[in-house]
Amino acid sequence: MSLVPQRILITGATGFIGRSLVAPLVAAGHSIRATTRDLSRASPQPGVAWVKANLDVPQEVEAALEGIDAAYYLVHGMGGGRHGFREADRQAAEIFAAAADRANVRRIIYLGGVAPAGEPSEHLASRLEVGRVLRAGRVPTLELRASLIIGVGSASWQIVRDLALRLPALVLPKWTESRTSPIALEDVILALVGGLGLELPEGAWFDLPGPEVLNGRQMLLKIAALRGRYVPALRVPLLSPSLSSWWLKLVTRADFSLARELVLGFSCDLLPVDDRYWGLIQHRPTHTFEAAARRALETEPPLQGLRGVAGRIEEALIQGIGERLGRRR
Ligand SMILES: NC(=O)c1ccc[n+]([C@@H]2O[C@H](COP(=O)([O-])OP(=O)(O)OC[C@H]3O[C@@H](n4cnc5c(N)ncnc54)[C@H](OP(=O)(O)O)[C@@H]3O)[C@@H](O)[C@H]2O)c1
């Protein structure tokens, strides 16, 4: 596919990934149509036409895809604890694949998740399923699979950061020994933009590994160290992913259902199969986890306290630890 200016649809354009993809595509000369279910969430900018589209509604998808050359699929329905999100996401992908075919779209680029070494969580199973549905359609679909993406506004980054920075000790359940290959937002955006120029006669999927493999404990320690926190680490191997997801309610302001799914997805290694894709687009991810985390910490607003009971427990914990340290001195 050539890199001549194209008419590009970005679904999920208000999301963490979608909103970072708009500017590079506009800068490359493409004309952008961006979707949201609620136009009050749109951020108007030159070169971008916002349209209201709910991917569950065939007529809205049809209208959004009219006259489009290539479409980015950056949507998931898991936020807010939506019941039955997996079925809804599968149906939305089916609607989209069929409508894209009717609209003669030439390419779909979908950002999904890395396949785990063991049984996938509901969220990861859903991400893989959406990829399969889109690739089974007639429009050649490029599915790119990332694990943990580091950048301001990422729910998974927010959760990992909160686990590292909020508590007086690093709590390390067994799942923090699971390994993955985190990747910086900037590298993911380059991968998504690069997908437009790739020869793609039929559907294909590729993993997007970052430059290193780390387990959860190593990531938490690195984030804590970046903030100069050298706190005790408490191993709690019996705290199962399911139990510790409830405990997350006390630790992070992130959407609880997302936090829960992140932890359940980390029950086993989430390792990319290979790094072939980077060779195809002639880019190597250069941001280490530490560099990406430092950048996120420097650019995001300061941590806010937790809400409600969790906030009061957090204050009491911090105050209690402070007093104990004071008495020891
Ligand atoms: N964040 C990560 O660390 C990460 C890691 C690996 C893969 N990914 C993948 O990257 C993609 C984008 O994730 P993200 O982190 O950017 O998600 P996000 O920040 O949660 O944004 C989700 C987007 O989906 C849109 N959306 C949800 N339901 C919709 C529906 N029924 N119809 C139309 N739009 C709908 C929302 O738009 P409105 O609410 O404005 O309608 C929002 O823009 C997903 O496929 C995700 O699996 C993300």
At residue 314, the pLDDT reads: 52
Out of 16-25, 41-50, 105-114, 160-169, which region has the weakest mean confidence (pLDDT)? 160-169
Evaluate: CB of 41 within 6 angstroms of ligand 1: yes
> What is the token pair recorded at 293?
């985390």
Average pLDDT on 200-214 reads 96
Evaluate: CB of 194 within 6 angstroms of ligand 1: no
At residue 310, the pLDDT reads: 55
Residues 269-281: tens digit of each pLDDT: 999 999 999 999 9
Residues 182-198: tens digit of each pLDDT: 999 999 999 999 999 99
Position 254 confidence tier, pLDDT thresholds 50, 70, 90:
confident
Tell me which architecture the domain covering 7-150+182-211+270-287 has in CATH. Answer: 3-Layer(aba) Sandwich (3.40)
Residues 292-325: tens digit of each pLDDT: 999 999 998 776 655 555 555 555 554 544 444 3
- Measured by CA distance, the residue closest to atom 28 of ligand 1 is 77
Regarding pTM above 0.85, the answer is yes
Q: Using only C-alpha atoms, what is the Rg of the chain?
A: 21
For residue 188, the surrounding DSSP H or E stretch is helix 185-194
Evaluate: CB of 9 within 6 angstroms of ligand 1: no
Residues 164-184: tens digit of each pLDDT: 998 788 888 888 999 999 999
Sheet harboring 48-52: ordered strands across?
Answer: 48-52, 31-36, 7-10, 70-73, 107-113, 141-146, 204-207
Q: 78: CA distance to ligand 1 center in Å?
A: 8
Evaluate: CB of 56 within 6 angstroms of ligand 1: yes
- Measured by CA distance, the residue closest to atom 40 of ligand 1 is 36
- Is the pLDDT at 128 greater than 80? The verdict is yes
* Average pLDDT along the chain: 89
For residue 34, the surrounding DSSP H or E stretch is strand 31-36
Higher pLDDT, 55 or 82: 55
Q: How far apart are CA 56 and CA 220, in angstroms?
A: 37
